[in-house]
Amino acid sequence: MANPAIDIKLHLIENYKFEIDFGEFGQMVTDEHEPVGHGEGPGPSQLLATAVANCLAASLMFAIRKFKGDPGQVWARVSGDPERVDGRWRITNLAVELHLGQPAASIDKLERVLEQFEDFCVVTQSVRSGIDVAVTVLDSDGQVLNT
């Protein structure tokens, strides 16, 4: 199954604030943080981090469900610190925590899932050549399932 073509429109509202039009999925406002913008919406760096975490969570859920498993109420946290590289701000690393809503023992073929789910995340694999992405998966008991 191929991913649909990407067609998103951005319209400048003022200063560094944009309305992003996702077509049938609606609009949202983004803005750069102070001192450049006014922080009236998430910034591009936050959207990038969100895209990585969202894609990884969806890929993990897909891999579990492929084996008829129930991931439970999945949630994720992503963090990263921009760094100066050659005098310019860059996102060099992101840390993603994926939390399953079930104990590990209740998910069939979990070891196999953990070995392969990251490879199917389009966004993460697309940015990994420039951004180190560390992924940690935890079950509902807080047990780290991958290292």
- pLDDT of 1: 60
Q: How far is CA 58 from CA 44, 67, 68, 132, in A?
A: 21, 15, 15, 19
Look at the chain and count its residues: 147
Question: For 127-142, what is each residue's pLDDT tens digit?
Answer: 999 999 999 999 999 9
Question: For 53-94, what is each residue's pLDDT tens digit?
Answer: 999 999 999 999 999 999 999 999 999 999 999 999 999 999
Tell me the pLDDT of the chain averaged across its residues.
95
Q: Token pair 């009236």 is at which residue?
A: 40
Residue 66 phi, psi (nearest 5):
-60, -35
Instruction: State the pTM of this model.
Output: 0.92
